[in-house]
Amino acid sequence: MADKISIRFDDGYPHAWCVMRVELDAAGEPCDFTFLSCNEALVKIGTYPKDELIGRRFYDLYPTSDRDNLPAFYAAAYKGKSSTFDVISAEVDRYLQVEVFPTDEAGVCVAVFRDTKQEVLERERRTRELARTVEELERERRANEQVRRYASAMGIVYPLAISLDYVANEYHMIEYANFINKTAKWTGTIDELIAAGASTIPDEAIARQFAELFGREPALAAFRAGKTELTLRHPQWGEDGKIHWMETKVICLECTDRKAEGISIARCIDKEKALDDAYEKLRERESVLTALSADYDDVYICDLDTDELRVIKASDGTPAGTAGQYSQIGRLFFGNKVVVDSAPDMLERLSRKALRARLAAAGEYSIGYQLRPDARGRQYAETRFVRVPSDEGFKVVIGTHFVDHIVEEQERQKALLQAAKDEAERANHAKTEFLQRMSHDVRTPLNGIRGMLDIAEKFPDDAAKQVDCRQKVRASSNLLLELINEVLDMSKLESGEVVLDHVPFDLIEVSREVHTAVSRQAEERGVQIVQKDCRTPHRRLIGSPTHLKRLMMNIMSNAIKYNREYGRVFVTCREISCADGVATIEFKVQDTGIGMSPEFQARVFEPFAQEDGASRSRYNGTGLGMAITKNIVEKMGGLITFESAPGVGTTFDVVLPMEIAEAGEGGVAVSNTAAELPENALAGLSVLLVEDNELNLEIAEFLLSEAGASVMTAENGQEAVDAVAASAPGTIDAVLMDVMMPVMDGHAAAHAIRALDRDDVRDLPIIAMTANAFVEDRIAAREAGMDEHIAKPLDLAVVVRTILRLARARA
């Protein structure tokens, strides 16, 4: 491990410092860091007081900051590696040098921030003195190139990014939200895109240049000629009615005879253009100072008239002041060290005659090339030639530096762009596949329902046929309901919106209820369920019984559905460990069914996965059950494994950690399964039914009346409140309340009923009946003052038992 910091940190330390904990995401990668302590010097260079910094995450405070330096903090906090780097803080308008040190605590590091603005200015002053020594420059020079290098090191955010397909002549916006001008549509042809962009450029000549550079045909020709990037800086009208300066780039991702794809990115460079304009008269001298800066490995001064070359700085150890001939040294260097394929005509382009012509026209010239790797593994370099105004000879400053890190970053960015494109294509494919599956799975039961209704109409007097049709309609509607529930559950689980209960419950009761729920399915298929008593010292637990029941029913239902005739399902439940108030429970379900092939086992938990195409029709499955089960298990902090063999059967093993309930903590009911209901079970009870949908109201009123209840109706929440307020105390025994209604919704109505100034509404049973069937919906109902929550479509047995239970508890 690298040396840990041994400096004493307190408010007397001369530089700004802070101690921070590096936060990791689910993949173990650094995503943020939290301020643990700091001194007043850090507060002075920031924008927040100390009490608002401590305990807060950096990107919550500065959300627009880049994340390029997170690996350095991670290396210090988790790998013990110190590092130093420079940044420009846009939020506080400062140049900062950051030193990061490890500490004795894993995940925690110390960062020291030094304001280097004065050092930068001092470096410029020394550079000016050096420049005066070299060229006897009399006037002061200022440099802004260092600022640009810092900005480049930090990375640049492009508010506009567009995917281009030159062969298909199509484009698609990737990022468009914060761009200054939104003339172009989100998608269309490349010709339309270029025309839209050129139309926003106020200068006609530059607009033509824009079209001639980025147009479909010239860009395609450039890429096929070997170019990988096209760049143009140009003015553009913004939506604010002002002219802004933009930098537009088109990067070639792939170019073959059959395929040509690229990415176009653009950003506003108003600030950079303002700097350029402010220092336009000093550009040559600025370039000189840049060439002489510490970032260049080799610096020379050359007179192209006399061919004299003099060393200012050399990375190979050649003493400063050493003189030679440009043509001879250049030929030796570029001829022996440069990889010819990277710049085949380099010697010709850098001859004295050609170089003089270029610099006379433009003032400066840069060339990049590949070298044979040196002892340090460096192999990419750039040489910059800058003409220096002089009354004696044609003077040129030559600076060379290695750019391996820039080349690597460009390759990384290109790979990221390609990965983003691939991910978008995968997402589109998954969406298409999902819609195709849903089209099939939704239409299949709908076809069955419509078909049975047609058959029933053909045989109005055939009682047996009517019964058969109704049974098949009910079976198809149950399958459709199962599909809708599973798709919604899967969507909630994948988006992270599912809320788990945290309530006490009886594990043995849940196991019995699951057994009762699947027993009818097992009887219909001739499958025997062998369930052993749950062996656990702690049957009173805390968790989400609803989700526990759901995952167990999914596994047992599959064990029954995919079993052989007269097969068996063995179910066991046991406590395998207990520590710190948490019991680890194992559920095992073993069947003697058809088993799974090795190929299918690899994707059994994928959404819509089924053994073969016939499974969907033969077993009426959606392929979502096991994906939902695995998501629930993982959300509950557990583990699910299985073993399977074709023709032998499958064994699923689920291990879940659950809190042990304190003595005296009650359980919650997760099911209303019980014995058969007696006739007129609700006789003598008065029920207020609140439902805005006429068909649903008719169905619910009929079911309640058939059960013997006296039914009053209301079509919205306000009518329900008025009905309760107008009734004599104690005459309404229960309220069945829809949630989503006009005028006043069910939650607001429940609040209003509880707020009435009469004693009987305090414990009046109010039961939510809604198509919103998730845990968070039940929680919302309880918070609104409702006693229970029943999901639509209504199950008469569940409704009756719920009303009876609440009415008896009230009595």
Asked whether the predicted pLDDT for residue 7 surpasses 60, the reply is no
Please name the residues in contact with 446: beta carbons below 8 A apart, sequence gap of 6 or more. Answer: 476, 480
pLDDT value, residue 71 = 92
3-state class (DSSP) for residue 281: helix
- Segment 710-721 mean pLDDT: 94
pLDDT value, residue 743 = 93
Asked whether the predicted pLDDT for residue 148 surpasses 70, the reply is no
Which of 16-25, 327-336, 528-537, 790-799 bottoms out in mean pLDDT, i.e. has the lowest? 327-336
Tokens 């380099």 sit on residue: 346
Report the share of the chain in percent with pLDDT over 90.
27
Question: Which candidate, 675, 642, 662, 632, places its Cα nearest to that of 545?
Answer: 632
3-state class (DSSP) for residue 438: helix
Measure Cα distances from 363 to 53, 355, 389, 501 in Å: 49, 10, 9, 72
Question: Which candidate, 232, 233, 252, places its Cα nearest to that of 163?
Answer: 252
Contact 458, 493 (CB under 8 A): no
Q: Which amino acid is at 301?
A: I
Model pTM greater than 0.85?
A: no
pLDDT bucket at 321, cuts 50 / 70 / 90: confident
3-state class (DSSP) for residue 287: helix
Contact 738, 769 (CB under 8 A): yes
**What span, in angstroms and rounded, lies between the C-alpha atoms of 326 and 383?**
14
pLDDT value, residue 11 = 60
Which H or E element spans position 249? strand 243-255
The sign of the dihedral angle between the CA atoms of 10, 11, 17, 21 is positive
H-only helix segments in 537-647: 545-561, 598-601, 613-618, 625-635
Tens of pLDDT, residue by residue over 430-443, are: 556 656 666 656 66
Compute and round to an integer the Cα radius of gyration of the chain.
38
Edge-first strand order for the sheet with 260-268 is 187-188, 170-175, 160-165, 260-268, 243-255, 229-237
Asked whether the predicted pLDDT for residue 663 surpasses 70, the reply is no
pLDDT value, residue 109 = 94
Contact 572, 533 (CB under 8 A): no
Q: Which residue has the higher pLDDT, 544 or 625?
A: 544
pLDDT value, residue 214 = 92
Asked whether the predicted pLDDT for residue 285 surpasses 60, the reply is no
Asked whether the predicted pLDDT for residue 680 surpasses 60, the reply is yes
pLDDT bucket at 92, cuts 50 / 70 / 90: low
- Segment 99-114 mean pLDDT: 92
pLDDT value, residue 654 = 95
**What span, in angstroms and rounded, lies between the C-alpha atoms of 743 and 725?**
17
pLDDT value, residue 620 = 53
Tokens of 631: 């998501």
**What span, in angstroms and rounded, lies between the C-alpha atoms of 458 and 348?**
93
Q: Which residue has the higher pLDDT, 736 or 63?
A: 736
Please name the residues in contact with 564: beta carbons below 8 A apart, sequence gap of 6 or more. Answer: 592, 593, 594
Tokens of 290: 């840049």
Q: Which residue has the higher pLDDT, 187 or 129?
A: 187
Q: Which amino acid is at 449?
A: I
Contact 602, 626 (CB under 8 A): no
Which of 257-266, 388-397, 661-670 bottoms out in mean pLDDT, i.e. has the lowest? 661-670
Tokens 């000189």 sit on residue: 288
Q: Which residue has the higher pLDDT, 93 or 633?
A: 633
Tens of pLDDT, residue by residue over 294-319, are: 667 888 888 888 989 888 888 778 88
Taking each helix axis from N to C terminus, what angle separates 283-292 and 117-135, rounded to the nearest 10 degrees?
100
3-state class (DSSP) for residue 477: helix
**What span, in angstroms and rounded, lies between the C-alpha atoms of 393 and 387?**
11
**What span, in angstroms and rounded, lies between the C-alpha atoms of 424 and 111?**
38
Please name the residues in contact with 307: beta carbons below 8 A apart, sequence gap of 6 or more. Answer: 325, 326, 327, 352
Contact 794, 737 (CB under 8 A): no
128: exposed, middle or buried (C-beta count within 10 Å: 0-12, 13-18, 19+)? buried
Tens of pLDDT, residue by residue over 639-653, are: 999 999 999 999 999
Tokens of 671: 């099911």
Q: Which of 81-90, 257-266, 444-453, 574-583 has the highest mean pLDDT?
A: 574-583
**What span, in angstroms and rounded, lies between the C-alpha atoms of 450 and 476?**
10
Tokens 């800058």 sit on residue: 386
**What span, in angstroms and rounded, lies between the C-alpha atoms of 562 and 647?**
11
77: exposed, middle or buried (C-beta count within 10 Å: 0-12, 13-18, 19+)? buried
Tens of pLDDT, residue by residue over 266-282, are: 888 888 887 776 555 44
pLDDT value, residue 153 = 36
Which of 184-198, 268-282, 726-740 bottoms out in mean pLDDT, i.e. has the lowest? 268-282
Asked whether the predicted pLDDT for residue 677 surpasses 80, the reply is no
Question: Which candidate, 687, 694, 777, places its Cα nearest to that of 741?
Answer: 694
**What span, in angstroms and rounded, lies between the C-alpha atoms of 223 and 250?**
10
Give the bridge partners for 35, in sequence order: 20
Asked whether the predicted pLDDT for residue 161 surpasses 80, the reply is no
Tens of pLDDT, residue by residue over 516-548, are: 878 877 888 899 999 887 778 888 999 988 889
Q: Which amino acid is at 120?
A: V
Tens of pLDDT, residue by residue over 206-216, are: 999 999 999 99
pLDDT bucket at 238, cuts 50 / 70 / 90: confident
Please name the residues in contact with 403: beta carbons below 8 A apart, sequence gap of 6 or more. Answer: 368, 380, 381, 382
pLDDT bucket at 182, cuts 50 / 70 / 90: low
Please name the residues in contact with 527: beta carbons below 8 A apart, sequence gap of 6 or more. Answer: 560, 563, 566, 567, 568, 569
Q: Which of 30-34, 286-290, 324-328 has the highest mean pLDDT?
A: 30-34
Asked whether the predicted pLDDT for residue 152 surpasses 50, the reply is no
Tokens of 274: 């303002």
Q: Which residue has the higher pLDDT, 659 or 533?
A: 659
Tokens 């939290």 sit on residue: 34
Report the share of the chain in percent with pLDDT over 70.
79
DSSP 673: -
Give the bridge partners for 597, in sequence order: none
Contact 346, 369 (CB under 8 A): yes
Q: What are phi and psi of 316, to 5 degrees?
A: -90, 5
**What span, in angstroms and rounded, lies between the C-alpha atoms of 769 and 790?**
5
pLDDT value, residue 808 = 85
Residue-averaged pLDDT of the chain: 80
Q: Which of 250-264, 377-391, 576-590 has the highest mean pLDDT?
A: 576-590
**What span, in angstroms and rounded, lies between the C-alpha atoms of 480 and 378?**
64
Tell which phi-psi region holds residue 322, choosing left (phi > 0), alpha (psi between -120 and 50) or beta: beta
Measure Cα distances from 572 to 206, 557, 634 in Å: 77, 15, 20
3-state class (DSSP) for residue 413: helix
Q: How far apart are the first and last CA of the chain?
A: 72
Edge-first strand order for the sheet with 16-24 is 30-38, 16-24, 108-115, 94-102, 83-89
Q: Which residue has the higher pLDDT, 717 or 383?
A: 717
3-state class (DSSP) for residue 329: helix
Q: What are phi and psi of 218, to 5 degrees?
A: -65, -35
What is the torsion angle, in degrees rounded to the nearest 10, for the CA atoms of residue 629, residue 632, residue 638 and residue 639? 30
| Interstrand relation of 734-737 and 766-770 (parallel, antiparallel or unpaired) | parallel
Q: What are phi and psi of 570, to 5 degrees?
A: -105, 125
Which of 194-198, 265-269, 564-568, 644-648 bottoms out in mean pLDDT, i.e. has the lowest? 265-269
**What span, in angstroms and rounded, lies between the C-alpha atoms of 309 and 328?**
10
Which of 120-134, 249-263, 532-546 bottoms out in mean pLDDT, i.e. has the lowest? 120-134
Long-range contacts of 187-190 (CB under 8 A, 24+ apart): 190/164, 190/165, 190/166, 190/216
**What span, in angstroms and rounded, lies between the C-alpha atoms of 640 and 652?**
7
